[in-house]
Chain A
Amino acid sequence: MRRPRLLYVPFWATYLFLYAPIAVLVFMSFNSGDSPYSFEGFSLKWYGELAGNAEIRHGLVNTLVVALGATVLATVLGTLLAVGMARHSRSKLLDAVSVLPAVLPDLVLAIGLLVFYGMIKMTLGLHSVLLAHTVFGMAFVAAVVRTRLTHADTSLEEASRDLGAGPVTTFLRITLPQLAPGIAAGALLAFTLSVDEFVIAFFTAAPTEPTLPIVIYSMVRFGVTPEINALATLLLAVSFTVVIVAQRMTRLTESLS
């Protein structure tokens, strides 16, 4: 039996709504002309311009430093937080508070951190953004790992203890491998969120150390150029790759466990 074709209309309409602007952006990044609105011919020249732009390169390096650093910190701390909460705490409130940074409005978190940094007289720079991104990244990692933990079989840990492994060995050899897919997913999530995070970075970065989104923002203030389109296309490619890798990885590790 064939489904009536009419049913597919809302389906395709939704996809069109979601992806048409992105398609236009990618298409326009290959424009040979200066205008971001009218296509004059195919060219890769804006990608070349991009590579030559020192400001963008600086922003990109800053973003990668922040994202990688925050991901490592957030993954380690978030995993420990999730395990600690699951195994050693029965407080529902503490549980809810641990994921709060993930759901708080960015603006609130940004202002809060700024005030806090001022209070402890910390200078702003890249490290302040890195720490700020660790805060919300950690909450995401903890939430993802926590879900995985609730499905994990506690008898495996007991079996490990029973076979003569102390608590540390048990954690490293049994608990961690069980959680690996969750940890990997959490880490990739933290990384992608950090790469395109704007509000918190804008508040907590030193003016001399802007991250890529801040650089883009300051460029866009003078109008969208095809150079921005090219940059956005590259960012899109990175996000897509990370998402696909994340999916593959979870599928792979899940089939192993």
Chain B
Amino acid sequence: MLQITGVSRRFGDVTALADVSLEIRQGEFFALLGPSGCGKTTLLRILAGFESPDSGAVTLDGEDLLGRPAHRRPVNLMFQSYALFPHMTVARNVAYGLEREKLPKAEVRSRVAEVLEKVGLSAMAGRRPQQLSGGQRQRVALARAIVKRPRLLLLDEPLSALDKKVRAEMQLELKRLQHEVGITFVVVTHDQEEAMSLADRIAVFSAGRVEQVDAPVALYERPRTPFVAGFVGANNIFSGRACSVGLASDGLGVLPGSSDLPDGTPALLAVRPERLRLDGGRDGEGVLKGEVADVSFYGGVSHVSVAVPGRAEPVLAATQGATPIRAGAQVNLSWAAGDGVLVPQ
């Protein structure tokens, strides 16, 4: 439905977007994920019409989007700051976009009432934005954007300004609304948990390039570039060369992993902390041996960091619940070959 082809944008010496191509499908909840300054917001502003690319094309339903000014695009943006009009009530804010379409007054009123009902703010219609809480403002911003029934709704860091509890609530709310209104959502975020839990598919950005586009689970389990392996979730990363049984690592011997990379290719091996097995005791089988440096208990999980001789950073292992292992203990670390993911370097 939305086709982005070879879009590039430079600001002086800085490349914000370098030859980005993406295809976003009808009804999809799509996330652009990356650290700040990776170009994801620039792409969003290009889609909304506030920036134009140096080169490349964007089509929506087969029609060129870039030639149209921002106010004539069937695209709406929910701003990170919400950008609610402070001199208007909630109802006037939401009605603003419909009034611009010159719709009859009765229809504007009924659609505003309907959307406020949908986001649970009917009682607040007469208030001004500054009289609302952060979560309520966010709902108004959302209502104002979806009331126009755009083909595409863009959300810029939609949850970043909310505190943790409200954020979890809004996350569910966003998913429910997207399902209800059936609009294609493109959300920009630097928060990978947000992207993982919201999106159907995620495009990971780094330095203006798309590193990988995949469903959340695939992205987590099969990172295809070193950046994705390091950025998405916690990972223990070892460098070396690919071999038949995994990775011939630099200084730690052969580590088990699975890949179809040709032998000798420079590669990284990534193992998730929750895939690591910990065994106490001096003897016993283990891929790596080390001494527990630190144990942190988070309630549902505990993180055990293990200092392994020959490796600068500690290896991180996650266990369910509390663990009997204490700092100073000697442990063996092991994992199944299927849990070691090889990424070409």
- How would you classify the secondary structure of chain A's contact residues: helix, strand, loop or mixed? helix
Contacting pair A163 B97 (CB below 8 A): yes
Q: Please indicate the chain A residues that have their CB under 8 angstroms from the CB of B77 in the complex.
A: 158-159, 162
> Do B85 and A161 touch across chains, with their CB atoms under 8 A apart?
no
Quick check: A159 and B83 within 8 Å, CB to CB? yes
A174 within 8 A of B: yes
Which residue of B69, B72, B81, B148 contacts A155 across the interface (Cβ within 8 Å)?
B81
Contact between chains at B70 and A158 (CB < 8 Å): yes
A256 beta carbon closer than 8 Å to chain B: yes
- For residue B13, CB closer than 8 A to chain A, the reply is no
Known: A153-B81, A155-B79, A158-B79. A164 touches B86 (CB 8 A): no
A177: which B residues are within 8 A, CB to CB?
A: 87
Verify A174–B70 contact, CB threshold 8 A: no
**Contact of A164 with B50 at beta-carbon distance under 8 Å, contacts A155-B79, A177-B87 already known:** no
In the complex, whether A169 has a CB less than 8 A from a CB of chain B is yes
A143-175: which residues lie under 8 A (CB-CB) from chain B? 153, 155-156, 158-166, 169, 173-174
Name B's interface SS: loop
The residue of chain A having its C-beta at the shortest distance from the C-beta of B96 within the complex is A163
Quick one: CB contact mask for A230-257 with B, threshold 8 Å, 1 for yes?
Answer: 0000000000000000000000000011
The interface bits of chain A over 75-113 (1 if a CB of B lies within 8 angstroms of the residue's CB, else 0) are 000000000000000000000000000000000000000
Q: Which residues of B contact A162 (CB under 8 A)?
A: 48-49, 70-71, 75-77
| A178 contacts partner chain B, Cβ-Cβ < 8 Å | yes
* B144 and A163 within 8 A (CB): yes
29 example contacts (A-B, Cβ-Cβ < 8 A) are as follows: A155-B83, A158-B77, A159-B77, A159-B79, A159-B84, A161-B50, A161-B69, A161-B71, A162-B49, A162-B70, A162-B71, A162-B75, A162-B76, A162-B77, A163-B71, A163-B76, A164-B97, A164-B100, A164-B101, A165-B71, A165-B96, A165-B100, A166-B71, A173-B96, A174-B85, A178-B86, A256-B86, A256-B128, A257-B86
